[in-house]
Each structure stands twice: as structure tokens, then as C-alpha cells.
Amino acid sequence: MAERRVNVGWAEGLHARPASIFVRATTASGVPVTIAKAGGDPVNAASMLAVLGLGAQGGEEIVLASEAEGAEAALDRLAKLVAEGLEELPETV
């Protein structure tokens, strides 16, 4: 299983707009990904409600994981998006 641990780069955490950006990027990757707070239960990273339900705050560590083919590259892109707190989807998602 591929896994990335990353700190949330959005000051407001994974709420509203940042969560939407993240969920769209996850869906666009075409790879099933889970997201969890460090030590918490993983949820579907392509589900807006699940991501919002995490309540991940800015600076908090999250864990992205996937067992699918292409997971390494997809997780690298998603981890960068989260860590940098990007305000728009990168074109390479």
C-alpha cells in the first residue's frame, strides 16, 4: 500500500473550498484514495462529506493511502496539493 503523510497547508484546514479542491483532484486522479487524520480511521477521499467530516485543521497531519495501480504518482500530486494549500487545481492532476 502506498501512503503519504502530509500536513494540511490551508490555514482554515480541509473545509469548504479547500475540501472541494482536494476532492476534485482526487476524483480527477482516477485512483481510489483514502484520507485519515494521523491515527484515525480512513475515509473515501473522493467524498466531500467524508473529507469535511474529518475536521482536519491547518497544520494537522493527514494520511493519504491507496493500493491501486498508479497510486504512487497520484498520492505524490495530492500530497503536494495539500501541503502547499493550493487555491486552484494544478493542470497536472
pLDDT at 87: 73
The rounded distance, in Å, linking the Cα atoms of 1 and 47 is 20
91 vs 56, higher pLDDT: 56
CATH at 69: 3.30.1340.10
**Number of neighbours of residue 92 by Cβ within 10 angstroms:** 7
Label the pairing between strands 34-37 and 61-66.
Answer: antiparallel
Does residue 45 form part of some domain? yes
Give a yes or no: residue 29 inside a domain: yes
Q: Is the pTM of this model over 0.85?
A: yes
91 inside domain: no
Can 55 be counted among the known catalytic residues? no
The pLDDT confidence band at residue 86, using thresholds 50, 70 and 90, is confident
* Count: domains in the chain: 1
Asked whether residue 90 is assigned to any structural domain, the reply reads no
User: Is the residue at 65 inside a domain?
Assistant: yes
CB 79 within 8 A of CB 45: no
Given 9, 15, 43, 47, the catalytic residue: 15
Q: pLDDT tens, 16-44?
A: 999 999 999 999 999 999 999 989 999 99
Residue 40 lies in a domain: yes
Q: Which residues pair with 37 in a beta bridge?
A: 62
Range of the domain at 48: 2-84
Check: CB of residue 93 under 8 Å from CB of residue 84: no
